[in-house]
Each structure stands twice: as structure tokens, then as C-alpha cells.
């Protein structure tokens, strides 16, 4: 298992109803494909060795014994394969016939898991041939000449990778109010395998997809769902081979309807384990029913990934979802600010407008808030405060933006105030150090705070989540406000939200917003270059925000160690950043993230938007004097491995 990933497969072979020999050969073809692909768990369809639609042929002992022999043959043929294999067959034991999954590994049958719930509605009449397994506990039966465990309360744990633990249910088991997979997960299963034979009707694929996604999400698990395919009888039904692999509420991959063959993806069982630890109520419902845990050893490392690793984890991947998500975020920000303005009785909202991304988004949110309150935008006081580093482009955009949005615009140059402050504290204006830069930020905050007092207003903070993570804010300067609307919105999402609003608003505002989007990110605290353009470029100093947002998401949301974060970053950014660049900014992220915690320990209130926030009152509580040594030591290991010539 490489960094928590296990490679799983779902395969629907081409079959012929009741032709066990043919079906066995087709099954072995899929097994060989899966083994070549490095699959560690392969799930086959329900009753796939004989065919789900055998109907009254299930009453023929010859068919049942042929299936048992087929399992012997499959076990023998796959003895050299390290993967855990789950195949569906009818099993006759205790004088009854059960619909079962048989677990095979390294040439041995490990266990037999019977189906608990049998459908008897519409075209399904499983209870005509099979009995449901209603007992608790695990018995033993003789199958394929070996005594093996028989029952539902069975888990398979990979001895090499203990977080990889598999529970099994069959088709209808998932569709009932209390699926067996609930108990499996509560007893430690991180991956649920479902051998299914659901037929296809209009709308069922969407419902099936939703069900699998939902179950993987509520159980914080991986879910491998394998369905019977087109080889089944079409006397009254048709089967589509709709296979799905899900993880924690999302579909990793799925097959096209009415196809056969193998689909493969990787499930991150480390991520699932982290999610369960974070969800304090997860194990509250665990019962005392004993489970039998059967070891197997896949002896396989998942070295390559086929699944998508999003480079922008905070931005929706599906374009269809983006507008809906943007609208929701902007509404959340506006509703939160609306409440704060009402509670404080504030007449105005005071905001510093720089012509940059963050203050632009904050102004757009304030305008939405005033629309909700039925207030005139003239009660929004936008202040631009040009100083030593202000460029013509940003000043022009800030003024045009305020004019177009019909807010009360004020231009307050602060160069004289800053120079007086330099004289007061004995700062040489020619010395372009941190005092030179931060004095400007603090004077700007002073202007905003005092204007808010004067105008019965609230200072609206503009800083974003990415800046908080890196500590890229002047303490008691732009670090401080009376309410911070962007505090849990990372920079990559800020860009998207401004872009969304540009398209939605259209016209002159769209042109202004698009120019803001095209402007280099900068605090503009150092003088422009000889051409009057921005000289102080934030991403040249602290690193690309798309990298830092990626690091932030994986470090805070999932708790991944530096080696895994780097491993994922190579997949997400391999075509855009060289390894030395990734390592440089990864080191910088950890260094700044730890060293700048003291700034986050006293940030203003701000609405929580997503699953990652750094508010000390909500999701992130970290001592300001915590050491980064452990994390940086792992970064150094990576540097020695990748950068040593």
C-alpha cells in the first residue's frame, strides 16, 4: 500500500446462463487482467459463476456442484495472484441453498458470506430458490473440501496493510433500511464489496449511483459495487453491468451501461481512517456482535494512481456544479454578514478597496448583503488609500469598481501619515524593510477603524484563508477587522468567485472584474518598477497560491504527512512544476504554517464556508509555539532523496 492507496477492481465477465465452464474461463480472463493491473481486491457479480437468472435451474444439484468445482478451479488458477477475489455462487449447506460470495486468496477459499436480504418484488423471486441468512455469529462449513467460516460477520484484513479491511454484502443487502455494511464499517471495514445482479430499468442507474455514493459517504468507506451484465437472460429483464467504485461520498470511476470487463481505481484507506477519527460520533452505534477477522496478505504496493488528484481541491471539478457552488458560497458570506450588521446595529460597512482580488470579493459580498437588507449601496464606504507601492492600474480599478457599484468612494492618500509615523519612530524611509511595509498596512487599518467609528460602521476584513495559512498578513494591520467575510475562502476559490460574479453581472463591471483577475497578486507595499508596474509579487515571495492551497487542503483536511502530500502533488502538478519547485514551496508552507500560528490565534470572526477553516474557535486549534521540526525533517528526507546529485 503506497501512502494509503489500495488498488481495487470491479469486473463483469461475459457469461452464458448456466454454462459454468464457460463462465469460469471468462472469470479467469478478468482475474488475469486485474492481476496484471496490480489489483489487490477484485469483486465479481452476484451468482456470476452460473448466472443470476438461472431461475428453477437452481434446484438442480448438478448446477450447484458444478459451481463448487468452478471455485476450486478458480482458486487453483489464481494461486499465484496476491489479490483477494470475491466470486458469487449458490452454496448448499445446512439443508438450505444460500446466495453467497466466496472469498479466495492464494489458491484457498477463505470464507463464504451468505446474502442476508432476498428481494421478492416485481420480477425478483429469490426466495423461491434461496433462503436468507438471518443468524448472528459465524459458523463453519465444509466447502471445496476445506472447513471455512460461514456467515455475515466476517472481515478480511490485509496483514501487510491493516487499514485495508474488507467487508462483504450482496446486492439487496445495500437497498434495505439497515444494510450489513453499517455493522461491517463499525467493526473496522474500510472497504465494502458488493456482489450484485440488479437489473436495469429507467432511472435505476441514477438511483444506484446515488445509493453507492451515499453509503460510502455515511460510512466513510470505499465501496466496490459489481453488477451482472448483458450475458444474463433477457426473458423478462435486462442487465447492464453497471459497476461503480466510490470513496467517501464520491464516485472514483464507473463503467458505461451495457458493457462488460474490468474497471480499476485506487481507494485511499488512510484518508478514510482520518475521516473516521475526525467524526467523533462514527463509532457510537457499534454493537457487541462478535466479528471473525480473516487475514490475507496482498503483498502489493499501489505504486501508480489512475484516479484524479484535483490540483484545485477547493474549486468544484464539475463545471455543472460550479455556478451552483459559487452562488451558495456568496450567499453564505452575505447571510453571515447580514446577521452581524443587524446585531451590531451598524449603519454602514467600511471596506478598504485596493484593486486586488480579496477586497474586490469582499465588496461584492457586502453589496449582496446590502441587497438582502434592502439598504442603499451608498452606505457602503469604500476607501482606497494609495501609498508608496500603489500602481495606476490598481488605483484606477478600485475607483472604477466603487463607481460602478454605486458605493460611497473615498480616496485617502496615506503617504504623509506614514512618513510622519516614520519620523515619530525614527525609521529611515530609504530602508525598505518590514517596518517600511507594515507601517503602511497598519496606517490603513487605523483609517478604516476610525472611519467606522465616525460613520457608525463595521470594518469588513478582506484577507483570505490562504493568507492566514501562510501568515501573509500584517499583524494588527490587514490581519484585523470587525468581521472577516473571506476568512475561510482560499485564494484559488477567491479567483473563481470573482470570475463567477464577473460573468453574472456582465457589462462594465465584468470588464473591471476581469482586469482585477488579470492583475498580479501583491500587497503593493514596495514602490513600482521603472515602468510603473507592480514590483512586489506575492507568489514570487511565498510561492504559487495553487500549490499552497493544495498543501493546505491535504495537510489540514486530511492530516497527510509531507511525503504523501508531495506524492499527491506530483500527480496533480507534474506537468506544471518540477520536483525541486514542489519541494521548495512545500518546505516553505510547513515553515510558515507553523511559525505564523500566533496570527491565527486572534483573528476576527468570519463565516465558515467549507471543510477547511483556521479559526481558533472552530476547526483548528493549534498552539502558537508548536514546533515544525517533525514535519520539516520529513521534507528534508524528500530533499535528500530527490535533490541529491
In terms of Cα–Cα distance, which of 284, 338, 323 is closest to 483? 338
Q: What is the CATH number of the domain that holds 46?
A: 3.60.110.10
pLDDT at 303 over 90: no
Tell me the per-residue pLDDT of 130-182, one tens digit each, with 9 for 90 and over: 999 999 889 999 999 999 999 999 999 999 899 999 999 999 999 999 999 99
- The answer for residues whose C-beta is within 8 angstroms of residue 396's C-beta and 6 or more apart is 355
- pLDDT band per the 50, 70, 90 thresholds, residue 285: low
Could you tell me if 336 and 607 are in contact, meaning their C-beta atoms sit under 8 angstroms apart? Answer: yes
Measured CA to CA, the distance from residue 645 to residue 636 in angstroms comes to 15
**CA proximity to 3, closest of 306, 221, 223, 270:** 270
Exposure class string for 508-520: b at 16+ Cβ within 10 A, else e: ebeebbebbeebb
* Residue 501: inside a domain: yes
- Is 171 an annotated catalytic residue? yes
User: Mean pLDDT score of the chain, rounded to an integer?
Assistant: 95
- Do 453 and 504 lie in one domain? The reply is yes
What is the SS3 assignment for 23? Answer: helix
Q: What is the mean pLDDT of residues 266-283?
A: 90
The position carrying cell 487542503 is 553
Q: State the cell numbers at 523.
A: 500587497
pLDDT for 533: 85
C-alpha cell at 613: 477553516
Average pLDDT over residues 313-318: 88
Which pLDDT does position 123 carry in this prediction?
A: 57
pLDDT at residue number 635: 98
pLDDT of 279 above 90: no
How many whole angstroms separate alpha carbon 356 and alpha carbon 373? 26
Q: How close are the terminal C-alpha atoms of the chain, in Å? A: 28
Structural domain contains residue 177: yes
Q: Which residue has the cell 485596493?
A: 354
Verify that 337 and 289 share a domain, yes or no.
no
Are both 334 and 214 inside the same structural domain?
no
Residue 188 has a pLDDT of 95
> Grid coordinates representing 636?
528534508
- Out of 264, 296, 328, a domain closes at 296
Distance CA 183, CA 192 (A): 11
**Does 274 fall in a domain?**
yes
User: Does 498 map to a domain?
Assistant: yes
Answer yes or no: do 265 and 173 share one domain.
Answer: yes
Is 284 inside any structural domain?
Answer: yes
pLDDT of residue 477: 96
Indicate the residue among 263, 296, 329 that finishes a domain: 296
Residue numbers of the domain that contains 614:
319-643
Domain annotation covers residue 314: no
Mean pLDDT of 36-42: 97
Task: State the residue for C-alpha cell 467524526.
Answer: 279
Residues 279, 385: one domain?
no
Together in a domain, 274 and 331: no
Q: Quote the pTM value.
A: 0.94
| Amino acid 301: pLDDT | 83
Q: How many domains does the chain have?
A: 2
- Among residues 497, 528, 489, the alpha carbon closest in space to that of 513 is found at 497
Residue 400 has pLDDT above 70, yes or no: yes
Pair (220, 366) in one structural domain: no
Question: Is residue 303, in this structure, part of any structural domain at all?
Answer: no
Are residues 461 and 575 located together in one domain of the fold? yes
Q: Region 289-295: what's the mean pLDDT?
A: 92
- Angle 284-218-164 (CA atoms, 0-180°, nearest 5)? 85
- The kind and range of the H/E element at 111 are strand 108-114
- Please check the confidence at residue 358 and state whether its pLDDT lies above 70: yes
Q: Which of 7, 30, 31, 46 is catalytic?
A: 46
Claim to verify: residue 591 and residue 478 sit in the same structural domain: yes
Q: Please write the tens of the pLDDT for every residue from 78-104.
A: 999 999 999 999 999 999 999 999 999
In sequence order, the 6+-apart residues with CB closer than 8 A to the CB of 526 are 388, 389, 432, 436, 437, 535, 536
Flag whether pLDDT at 124 surpasses 70. Answer: no
Q: Is-catalytic flag, 454?
A: no
User: Quick one: pLDDT at residue 271?
Assistant: 97
CA distance 147 to 502: 68
List the helix and strand counts (H, then E) for the chain: 20, 20
- Let me know whether 69 and 173 are in one domain: yes
Residues 331 and 220 in one domain: no
Please write the tens of the pLDDT for every residue from 538-584: 888 999 999 999 999 999 999 999 999 999 999 999 889 999 999 99
* Whether 351 and 275 share a structural domain: no
The answer to whether 349 touches 364, Cβ cutoff 8 Å, is no
Per-residue confidence (pLDDT) for residue 558, from 0 to 100: 96
pLDDT at 122 over 60: no
Tell me phi and psi for residue 330, to 5 degrees: -65, -35
**Nearest one of 286, 258, 335 to 184, comparing CA atoms:** 286
Q: Which of 115, 271, 564, 599 is catalytic?
A: 115
Instruction: Give the span between the Cα atoms of 103 and 112, in whole angstroms.
Output: 6
**Residue 54 among the catalytic residues:** no
Residue among 86, 427, 31 at smallest CA distance from 261: 31
The residue among 296, 327, 350 that closes a domain is 296
Range name among 16-20, 123-127, 193-197 with the lowest pLDDT average: 123-127
Span 202-259, pLDDT tens digits: 999 999 999 999 999 999 999 999 999 989 999 889 999 999 999 999 999 999 999 9
Cα–Cα distance, 452 to 447 (Å, whole number)? 9
Whichever domain contains 407, its CATH number is 3.40.50.620
Q: Which residue has the higher pLDDT, 303 or 364?
A: 364
Average pLDDT, stretch 464-490?
A: 97
Answer whether residue 645 shows pLDDT above 60.
no
Residue 134 lies in a domain: yes
244-247 and 250-254 strand pairing:
antiparallel
Amino acid at each position: 500500500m503506497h501512502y494509503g492507496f489500495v488498488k481495487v477492481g470491479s469486473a463483469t465477465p461475459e457469461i452464458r446462463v448456466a454454462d459454468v465452464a464457460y463462465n469460469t474461463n471468462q472469470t479467469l480472463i478478468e482475474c488475469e487482467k486485474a492481476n496484471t493491473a496490480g489489483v489487490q481486491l477484485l469483486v465479481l457479480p452476484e451468482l456470476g459463476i452460473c448466472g443470476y437468472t438461472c431461475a428453477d435451474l437452481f434446484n438442480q444439484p448438478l448446477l450447484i456442484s458444478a459451481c463448487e468445482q468452478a471455485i476450486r478451479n478458480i482458486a487453483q488458477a489464481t494461486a499465484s495472484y496476491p489479490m483477494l477475489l470475491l466470486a458469487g455462487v449458490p452454496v448448499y449447506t445446512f439443508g438450505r441453498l444460500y446466495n453467497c460470495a466466496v472469498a479466495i486468496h492464494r489458491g484457498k477459499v477463505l470464507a463464504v458470506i451468505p446474502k442476508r436480504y432476498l428481494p421478492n418484488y416485481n420480477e425478483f423471486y429469490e426466495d423461491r430458490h434461496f433462503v436468507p441468512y438471518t443468524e448472528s455469529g459465524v459458523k463453519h462449513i465444509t466447502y471445496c473440501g476445506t472447513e471455512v467460516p460461514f456467515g455475515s460477520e466476517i472481515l478480511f484484513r490485509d496483514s501487510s496493510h491493516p487499514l485495508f479491511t474488507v467487508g462483504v454484502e450482496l446486492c439487496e443487502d445495500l437497498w434495505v433500511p439497515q444494510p450489513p455494511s453499517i455493522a461491517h464499517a463499525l467493526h473496522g471495514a474500510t472497504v465494502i464489496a458488493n456482489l450484485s445482479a440488479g437489473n436495469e430499468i429507467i432511472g435505476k442507474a441514477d438511483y444506484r449511483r446515488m445509493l453507492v455514493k451515499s453509503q460510502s459517504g455515511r460510512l466513510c468507506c470505499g465501496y466496490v459495487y459489481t453488477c451482472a451484465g448483458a450475458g444474463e437472460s433477457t426473458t423478462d429483464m435486462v442487465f447492464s453491468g453497471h459497476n461503480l467504485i466510490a470513496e467517501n461520498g464520491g464516485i472514483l470511476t464507473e463503467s458505461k451501461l451495457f458493457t462488460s470487463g474490468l474497471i480499476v481505481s485506487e481507494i485511499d484507506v488512510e484518508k478514510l481512517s482520518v475521516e473516521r477519527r475526525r467524526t467523533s460520533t462514527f463509532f457510537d452505534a457499534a454493537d457487541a456482535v462478535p466479528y471473525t477477522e480473516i487475514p490475507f496478505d496482498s503483498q502489493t504496493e499501489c505504486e501508480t494512481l489512475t484516479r484524479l488528484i484535483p490540483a484545485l481541491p477547493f474549486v468544484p471539478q464539475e463545471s455543472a456544479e460550479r455556478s451552483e457552488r459559487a452562488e451558495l458560497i456568496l450567499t453564505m458570506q452575505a447571510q453571515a454578514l447580514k446577521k452581524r450588521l443587524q446585531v451590531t446595529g451598524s449603519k454602514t460597512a467600511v471596506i478598504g478597496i485596493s484593486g486586488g482580488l480579496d477586497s474586490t470579493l469582499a465588496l461584492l459580498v457586502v453589496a449582496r448583503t446590502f441587497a438582502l437588507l434592502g439598504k442603499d449601496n451608498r452606505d457602503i464606504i469604500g476607501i482606497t488609500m494609495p501609498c508608496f507601492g500603489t500602481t495606476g492600474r490598481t488605483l484606477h480599478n478600485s475607483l472604477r469598481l466603487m463607481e460602478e457599484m454605486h458605493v460611497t468612494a473615498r480616496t485617502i492618500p496615506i503617504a504623509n501619515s506614514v512618513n510622519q509615523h516614520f519620523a515619530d519612530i525614527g525609521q529611515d524611509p530609504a530602508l525598505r524593510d518590514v517596518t517600511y511595509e507594515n507601517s503602511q498596512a497598519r496606517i490603513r487599518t487605523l483609517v478604516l477603524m476610525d472611519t467606522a467609528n465616525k460613520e457608525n460602521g463595521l470594518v469588513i476584513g478582506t484577507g483570505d484563508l490562504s493568507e492566514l495559512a501562510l501568515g501573509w498578513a500584517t499583524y494588527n494591520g490587514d490581519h484585523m477587522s470587525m468581521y472577516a467575510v473571506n476568512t475561510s475562502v482560499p485564494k484559488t476559490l477567491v479567483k473563481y468567485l470573482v470570475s463567477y460574479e464577473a460573468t453574472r453581472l456582465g457589462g462594465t463591471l465584468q470588464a473591471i472584474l476581469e482586469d482585477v483577475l488579470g492583475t498580479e497578486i501583491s500587497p503593493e507595499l514596495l514602490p513600482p518598477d521603472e515602468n510603473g508596474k507592480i514590483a512586489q509579487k506575492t507568489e514570487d515571495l511565498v510561492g504559487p497560491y495553487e500549490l499552497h492551497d493544495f498543501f493546505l487542503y491535504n495537510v489540514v483536511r486530511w492530516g497527510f504527512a509531507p511525503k504523501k502530500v508531495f506524492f499527491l502533488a506530483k500527480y496533480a502538478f507534474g506537468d506544471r512544476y518540477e520536483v525541486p519547485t514542489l519541494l521548495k514551496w512545500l518546505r516553505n508552507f510547513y515553515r510558515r504554517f507553523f511559525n505564523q500560528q500566533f496570527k491565527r490565534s486572534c483573528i476576527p470572526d468570519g463565516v465558515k464556508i467549507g471543510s477547511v477553516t483556521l479559526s481558533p474557535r472552530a476547526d483548528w486549534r493549534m498552539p502558537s509555539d508548536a514546533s515544525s521540526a517533525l514535519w520539516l525533517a520529513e521534507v528534508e528526507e524528500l530533499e535528500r532523496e530527490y535533490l541529491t546529485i
